[in-house]
Amino acid sequence: MATTKNNTLKLKFDSARKYAPALESKSAATIDARYDLFINGKFEKPQSKKYFSTINPATEEKLSEIADANAADVDKAVKAARAASDKYWKKMPASERGKYIFRIARMIQERARELAVIETLDGGKPIRESRDFDVPTAANHFFYYAGWTDKLAYAFPGKDPQPLGVAGQIIPWNFPLLMAAWKIAPALATGNTVVLKPAENTSLTALKLAEIIREADLPPGVVNIITGAGSTGAAIVNHPDINKIAFTGSTDVGKIIQRAIAGTNKKATLELGGKAANIIFDDAPIDQAVEGVINGIFFNQGHVCCAGSRLYVQESVYKEVVRKLKDRLETLIVGDPMDKNTDIGAINSKEQLNTINKYLKIGQKEGAEMYQANVEIPSKGFFCRPTIFTNVAQSNRIAQEEIFGPVLTIQTFRTDDEVIEKANNTPYGLSAGVWTDKGSKIFNLTTKLRAGVVWANTFNQFDPTSPFGGYKESGYGREGGLHGLAPYLNLG
Ligand code: NAP
Ligand code: MG
């Protein structure tokens, strides 16, 4: 009987996975063979004379060559940004500045398809995700902050908000275009000029944004986009004529940056790592919660700082939740990110795949039980099966450290106090999720969980109007919403 049931289940899963391919066309995207640095409104060759390759992590094929900026290039970009601040941007009426930002938003919408395709080719995330989330949300950030440009006096009543000057901005590889938008839109709205560095693995959409900014006819030097690796980022951080550092990335690099700017006048916002708890109470709508957990950790390959990577389930519904999660895991489609059916695309780089695999070994060594979906993964490219660990102890490294991959740990709890203590027991505090039917429980937990964002009966929801940021080692400062304006302003 059990075998028949399993066979039926297997058949169901196999047919679920065999959708006809629905490939997005690459024709919408033009990728040049080589990209230079965007400084002072023009694309310029790097003084380093060096370039590095960017590849498609789903196929390991080279897509383009990207300029590697050195300290002299950074200096040139900072000088251009300073001159643009003094000559144009600070002096321009706020409503005029707003028009440029609106224009960028509209042009992102017009080129949405191209941007989504390039984001997926360069970074490995499913096209559905780039098309339906990354690109529209990036445009929305520019729309939202364009609206604030001439209303800063209302945002900060009784104050005289003034721009800081030149902002140095450094971003990671998991949401390349969206992170660029999170950084550039509020900086421009508040009258600052920008030197931005995308991550080495995913520079292409930031360079496309540079093209858009050039076409939008922003005064030269207001936005400079320079590419390179960690040393380029360090040169931005250490440049003496930068007024503010906005960084999103790992906690380790965040600490290096904090040390580098200590004792200077540079202001900083740091958005760092996370290890979010997703909490299911026994009165929660279980099917909805299971879907929320899947969405919270497996979509986008777990490459999300606020991913719900630790699941806490109330004991009485533990078995049911684990069974439903495993069933759902089997139906996830892992593979070509350009296929519109794909749920889980490519891991961003070989190094990141190695890190995830290292944690899979650590988890098993620590005595946790590993369950991986029985799905085929492509032989080329960097892919990882969605993975669940049960029998996890709170002190296990897989429950404490950020893995940044499609890996979920599951633990149980009995009482509210117990789960609050467990959820807060990590060095991070970026986000959390609560699934329950009771409003009182939601209020109790949201006030006690030390996390910058707590979602209730949903997960990974973003909106330009909501502030986002961390507690503890997840960083400080807020991005998004009205809160996201203040870190770019001198409020007197
Ligand atoms: P990362 O290694 O810290 O890199 C982030 C950026 O910093 C990249 O552009 C990187 O350049 C640059 N960088 C590296 N070393 C530097 C240095 N010494 N000085 C200045 N810049 C330097 O992080 P990642 O691996 O790209 O991204 C994953 C991490 O970002 C995760 O920990 C994740 O949680 C976090 N994240 C946080 C948020 C948030 O909002 N809190 C959002 C997204 C991601 P290269 O990559 O080119 O070397
Ligand atoms: Mg790439």
Residue 376's pLDDT band (boundaries 50, 70, 90)?
confident
Same domain as 236, residue 376: no
> For residue 328, what is the domain's CATH number?
3.40.309.10
245 falls within a domain:
yes
Let me know whether 262 and 315 are in one domain: no
| Residue 340 maps to a domain | yes
Q: What is the mean pLDDT of residues 147-175?
A: 97
> Do 286 and 299 have their domain in common?
yes
Is the distance from CB of 321 to CB of 288 less than 8 angstroms? no
In a domain, 461, yes or no: no
Task: Identify whether 96 is a catalytic site residue.
Answer: no
| Residue of 262, 258, 318 lying closest to 286 (CA atoms) | 318
Q: How far is the CA of 186 from the centre of ligand 1 (A)?
A: 20
Pocket perturbation via mutation, ligand 1, pick of 50, 52, 250, 349 by most ligand atoms within 8 A of CB:
250
Question: Do 98 and 241 fall within a single domain?
Answer: yes
Expressed as residue numbers, the domain containing 282 is 277-456
Q: For 354-360, what is the mean pLDDT?
A: 98
Pocket-forming residues, ligand 1, beta carbon under 6 Å: 170-174, 197, 199-200, 229-230, 233-234, 237, 248-250, 253, 256-257, 271-274, 305, 402, 404, 430, 470, 474-475
Q: 146 with 31, same domain?
A: yes
Question: Which residues are CB-neighbours of 151 under 8 A, at least 6 positions away?
Answer: none
How much is the pLDDT for 367? Answer: 97
* CATH classification at residue 478: 3.40.605.10
Same domain, 259 and 303: no
> Do 268 and 284 fall within a single domain?
no
Residue 14 placed within a domain: no
Asked if residue 1 is part of any domain, the answer here is no
- Looking at the structure, tell me whether residues 314 and 168 fall in a common domain: no
Look at residue 3 in the predicted model and tell me its pLDDT. Answer: 47
Q: Is the pLDDT of residue 179 over 80?
A: yes
Task: Name the burial class of residue 140, with classes exposed (0-12), middle (13-18) and buried (19+) by CB atoms within 10 angstroms of its CB.
Answer: buried
Q: Rounded to the nearest whole angstrom, what is the distance from the C-alpha of residue 311 to the centroid of ligand 2?
A: 31
pLDDT of 80-103, one tens digit each? Answer: 999 999 999 999 999 999 999 999
What is the number of domains present in the chain?
A: 2
For range 105-114, the mean pLDDT? 98
Note whether 125 and 42 are same-domain residues: yes
Please confirm, yes or no, whether 384 is among the known catalytic residues.
Answer: no
Asked whether residue 302 falls in the same domain as residue 387, the answer is yes
Pair (260, 286) in one structural domain: no
Domain assignment present for 6: no
Q: Which of 270, 272, 431 to mutate to test the pocket of ligand 1 (most atoms within 8 A of CB)?
A: 272
Is 420's pLDDT higher than 80? yes
- Rounded to an integer, what distance in angstroms lies between the CA atom of residue 89 and that of residue 429? 36
What token pair was written down for 380?
């080329």
Which ligand approaches the C-alpha of residue 381 most closely? Answer: 2
Residues 158, 218, single domain; the answer is yes
pLDDT in tens, 114-126: 999 999 999 999 9
Write out 352-372 in H/E/C secondary structure.
HHHHHHHHHHHHHHCCCEEEE
